[in-house]
Structure 1
Amino acid sequence: MDVKALLHAHPEWLAHLESADGPDLVLPADPVPELLRLTVPHEDLGAVLATRPEPGSGQWWLAERCVRSLVSTMGSLDGPPFFQPLPELGPYFYVHVFLGAVPHTLAYHRELGIAPEVSWATLADLGRCMAVHRKRYGHGGLHAPFWLMLHARGVLYALGRLQFNRDTLSASVGEAVRAAGMPAGPGSPALGVHIPDFLGPLAPAACDASFALAREFFPRHFPGEQVRVMTCGSWLLDDQLGAYLPDDSNILAFQRRFHLLERFGDGDMLGFVYGEHAGDPAALPRRTRLERAIADHLAAGGTWYGRLGWLPF
């Protein structure tokens, strides 16, 4: 397969990859222990092993350049071009890329004094994103490889129930924060808050613990970034849910932490909640209280939104 021919559809990315300098690609001779530590699902393991790139092949060249792209921007908020979907290379190509990046991410974490348990909890999102892919589409693959670039480059960290990525405030959120009297504005350092799937209930105590960890972790390991605000953009912040869920629901408790701002799209709500069953809104399952709320609102002609919110650091 002529990999470079595939990349001509992405000229900016191809130019970046061809110019990226850095380490040679090294994959473990026996990758199984590391893949399991990265929580790669057992049902995907055999297919991942069977699609390992061959040294000297076009896929090896591309995987090596992808790893170099990650390493060359390690720790930087100014990331490289996103990894592009390349279905011709199979559903597991980027699994090998992230496997090749692991030693470099771990080395960066060690330089910062980050505990190994935090490193591995963060990198374990690889397997979780594979589980999300199967939930969404009913077959193996890796969901949103571009998202995992944040983990591999030392920008995002898993701290208990939640994930946090180093970021800066957008113009609109920064102005809202400033107007609220916070010592921050557009371009100020911030943390993005994310709620991973497959980690159990969004219990208030678990969230309290994650926020407490974040408030300790980032000043310790990134002391030059004076974070004052954390932000979140999610369908979980759509305040219309308050009309359907009981006041003591975990979702509403999470919402109440934030000052809510503008709406956007739908935050991919149906994909997150229903997975591969999201295709026909008229036939959505109603197995849980949340599923019933979402489906009933849509059946009544309503629309769901994602919403931005912020809270003090």
Structure 2
Amino acid sequence: MEPFTLPDTERLPEALLELAVPFDEVNAVLAVRTALARDRGLRTAFDEVLREQSAAVGTVGRPSGFAGGRPAGFDGPGHLLTLLFVALAPHTRAYHRALGISPAVTRTTLADLGRQLVVSRWRGHPGGLGNPAWLTLHFRGELYQLGRLQFQRKRLTGPDAEAAAEAGFGPRCLQLHIPDHCGPLSPEACDRALARARGFFARHFPGEPYPAACVFSWLLDPQLGRYLPADSNIVRFQQRFTPLRPPGEPEDDNPLRYVFGDSGQPLDSLPRDTPLQRALIDHLRAGGHWYVAGGWLRLGDHGG
């Protein structure tokens, strides 16, 4: 693969703009770029991690290499990982071009870097990425944003694979993800995303048949139906899916993190402006718990 290099400080702002990095983060990233150029040891560690990550572009199911949230021995400023994904982006774009993927899909998918910086700050992780391992899916070509939803090339394992086999599909499926701050989860937007996914993966990954999509999310917790109107977007989203397996242990902080940002705040301090916010808080205050549930649908059965 072509040996792309990290943009210098003059070209870096444009590269950050292409990845939707917020303007108020740019100077901080530039400062880290300057520190990286001056610190030979840090640059050696950076180049080694970049080689490992670029070699993983095009793979599916490979570990992120970010145990504990960062690469082993990869210490330094918070935005060092932001720079890593900037340096990795040309490798990802080259992989997409080789598959015939449109620049628009590439741009929308990789723009999750900027969105994750915003989300990280919202969740109490200032000065960098709170969950960099998540972005390795995007930059390795394993995950794509197609409209309102993100679709991950996935091979299920363990109990999930067993449940999929009993349901008559798998172990290969497209795992759905619902990104933050992308507008309403309306039925129409979901229909369009599912329809795009059917054509997209059949065209660009013809050797990987994906008969079904699956999702593992607190959004599928059936208890939400006790609190939300039957015509709410979340309840209608749930109705698309057939249960794949029963929920496991409670994960109360999961919905709190996605709806309120910082899941460590006292319940009494959280806003109650929407039916969903009130549902999450009232259920926990009454002694209940929230769970991540799994569901699946056949791609041929959904999407306009």
TM-score for both structures, normalised by structure 2: 0.89
- Output the CA distance in 2 between the equivalents of 1:272 and 1:250: 16
Query: Contact between 2:4 and 2:90, CA under 8 Å: does it hold in 1?
Result: no
Greater Cα offset, 262-271 or 251-260: 262-271
1:52-73 CA distance string (max 9 Å, x none): 1216622222222222112212
Tell me which of the two structures has the higher relative contact order, counting C-alpha pairs closer than 8 angstroms and 6 or more residues apart: 2
* Aligned match of 1:57: 40
Q: Are 1:276 and 2:262 matched, yes or no?
A: yes
Q: Aligned match of 1:263 in 240, 247, 251? A: 247
Alignment of 1:8-47 (within 5 A): 23=3, 25-28=5-8, 29-47=10-28
Q: Does 1:241 align with 2:227?
A: no
Which residue does 2:80 correspond to in 1? Answer: 93
Counterpart residue type for residue 75 of structure 1: G
Q: 1:228 to 1:142 in 2, by over 3 A?
A: same
Quote the Cα distance in structure 2 between the aligned partners of 1:65 and 1:262: 42
Equivalent-residue separation in structure 1 for 2:235 and 2:3 (angstroms): 47
Matched, 1:148 2:135: yes
Task: Identify which of 291, 294, 300 aligns with 1:308.
Answer: 294
Matching residue of 1:177? 164
Unaligned runs of 5+ in 2: 300-304
User: Contact 2:217/2:294 (CA < 8 Å) preserved in 1?
Assistant: yes
By how many angstroms is 1:23 displaced? 3.7
* Residues 197-235 of structure 1: CA deviation (Å, up to 9, x unaligned): 010111111111100010000011011011112111111
Question: 1:72 aligned to 2:55?
Answer: yes
Partners of 1:117 and 1:133 in 2: CA distance: 25
TM-score by length of 1: 0.86
| Equivalent-residue separation in structure 2 for 1:77 and 1:302 (angstroms) | 37
Corresponding letter in the other structure for 2:24: E
Residues 235 and 306 in structure 1, CA contact (< 8 A), matched pair in contact too: yes
Any conservation in 2 of the 1:73–1:80 contact (CA below 8 Å)? no
Once the two structures are superposed, residues 131-179 of structure 1 have per-residue CA deviations (whole angstroms, 9 ceiling, x without a partner) of: 1111100633212100111111111101001100101122323332332
Give 3-state SS (helix, strand or coil) of 2:214's partner.
strand
Are the aligned partners of 2:57 and 2:140 in contact in 1 as well (CA < 8 Å)? yes
Aligned to 2:122: 135
Question: How many matched pairs?
Answer: 289
Identify which range, 202-211 or 80-89, moves more after superposition: 80-89
Asked if structure 2 preserves the Cα contact closer than 8 Å seen for 1:69 and 1:80, the reply is no
CA–CA distance in 1 between the matches of 2:30 and 2:84? 13
Aligned equivalents of 2:63 and 2:285: distance in 1?
42
Identical amino acids, percent of aligned pairs: 44
* Superposed displacement of residue 281, structure 1: 2.9
Aligned partner letter, 1:90 = P
Any idea what SS the aligned residue of 1:297 has?
A: helix
23-32 or 204-213, which deviates more: 23-32
The answer to whether the Cα contact below 8 Å between 1:63 and 1:96 also exists between their aligned partners in 2 is no
Counterparts of 1:61 and 1:179, CA distance in 2: 49
Structure 1 moving runs of 4+ over 6 Å: none
> Alpha carbon RMSD of aligned pairs, Å?
2.0
- Residues 192 and 230, structure 1, Cα contact 8 Å, conserved in 2: yes
1:283-294 maps to which residues of 2 (within 5 A)? Answer: 283-294=269-280
Give 1:81 shift. Answer: 4.4
